[in-house]
Amino acid sequence: MLDAAGVEQVQRWWRRWPDANVGIVTGAVSGLVVLDVDPRHGGEESLAALEAEHGALPRTVESLTGGGGQHLYFRHPGASVPSRPIAPGLDLKGDGGLVVSPPSGHVSGRAYAWESGCAPGDVPIANLPEWLQLMAHGPSSATGSDTASRLMPVRTTSERAEFAELWAQVGIRLRAGDQTYLCPFHDDHHPSLHIDAEGCRFYCFGCGRGGGSGRLRRLVDAPVRPNATDDEATGLSPPELATVVTLSGADEVRVVGDAIHQDVLLDLTGGRRHYGGVRMETVAHLVPEPSNADDPAAVAVTIDGRSVGYLSRSDAARYRQEIAAAIERSGEAGCRATIVGGWEREHGDIGYFGVRLRLGPHGWKTS
């Protein structure tokens, strides 16, 4: 049995290592059991499936990990709770375990942080659900793709309706399939939230939040959403992006020079996708560069304030008047844009990202 360090001992450690991370010993010694959800290994899908079978986890103290996962803190039941993996991407940290806690840093550069409204003192630590305690003593189902497949249930119509209603409460109207949206749970300036409406799953590449209906319900029920302002809380999806579009049209215009901005596009989309790749709807801005020494007529294309390429010379000439009129009228020339490509398949088959704009021969908005 580990001996708990006293206040004086911890203070001595802190004076000696002021930049150290913070670790919490789990189990009976601290009275805590922590469920570690790792989205990189299917933790969100596993948890969504288990909650569909056993019911949603209770609201409790919760932290966001530096690696993009989450730690859910529960009260130790007194009886033995071994530390072990219980499903793909799910580890139960009980007796003999250890978790890193906020405000520790992570090799990714992202810090551990308490979920808004779920920090210690904001919400009581919930009792460990009985089914989780039983899983800690049962046979492990943490490996194998067959097991992972068995964990994923087919969603019913009512489950999908409930999932859609939860998103509606934060201002997002779901569209069919796996789509991207502006995330209402952080200061999101380009769509980084992916929602699978059929599978009832979501993941945000911006803030790292993700999971199923149970996880979403805890976020929706939180008293304050992190960093949300009145404007950001609307959860704007592509149909609402028209409010910042000052140039419209149905013609597809390809951005040139996007090949040298692959790192920016990778960051904007949150990473490559398997098979078909990315198709992310967003807004691009067209910025004339009269001081460009190589081409004073050049028009740069930016997304979220970051350069992703240029209009071709012929397109820059074609839309010059419309762009100038939009800037004169609204202060900016914004249009609908789609980031495409960026697939990663077997045998090293990797696709480049590209940017497509929606413009027209008379592409200014009149209303």
Tens of pLDDT, residues 100-115 = 898 887 665 678 888 8
- Across 45-64, average pLDDT: 86
Distance of CA 122 to the CA centre of its chain: 23
- Shared domain check, 137 and 20: yes
- Shared domain check, 90 and 216: no
Tens of pLDDT, residues 225-267 = 443 333 333 333 444 444 468 888 888 899 998 888 888 888 8
- Shared domain check, 136 and 14: yes
| Whether 53 contacts 134, CB under 8 Å | no
Task: Look up residue 59 and give its DSSP letter.
Answer: P
**What pLDDT, on the 0 to 100 scale, is given for residue 298?**
93
Choosing from 126, 149, 172, the residue where a domain stops is 149
**What pLDDT, on the 0 to 100 scale, is given for residue 9?**
79
pLDDT confidence bin for 357, thresholds 50/70/90: very high
- Residue 366 belongs to a domain: no
In terms of residue numbers, what domain contains 194? 154-238
| Whether 187 contacts 198, CB under 8 Å | no
Distance of CA 165 to the CA centre of its chain: 19
CATH number at residue 207: 3.90.580
pTM: 0.47
- For the chain, what is the domain count? 3
pLDDT > 70 fraction of the chain, expressed in percent and rounded: 82
Choosing from 202, 218, 238, the residue where a domain stops is 238
**What pLDDT, on the 0 to 100 scale, is given for residue 243?**
45
Q: How many CB atoms lie within 10 A of CB 315?
A: 19
pLDDT > 90 fraction of the chain, expressed in percent and rounded: 23
- For 240, phi and psi rounded to 5 degrees? -80, -10
- Shared domain check, 172 and 123: no
Say if residue 196's pLDDT is above 90: no
CATH number at residue 27: 3.30.2250
Residue 37 vs residue 157, higher pLDDT: 37
Choosing from 149, 167, 187, the residue where a domain stops is 149
Residue 186 vs residue 336, higher pLDDT: 336
**What pLDDT, on the 0 to 100 scale, is given for residue 324?**
92
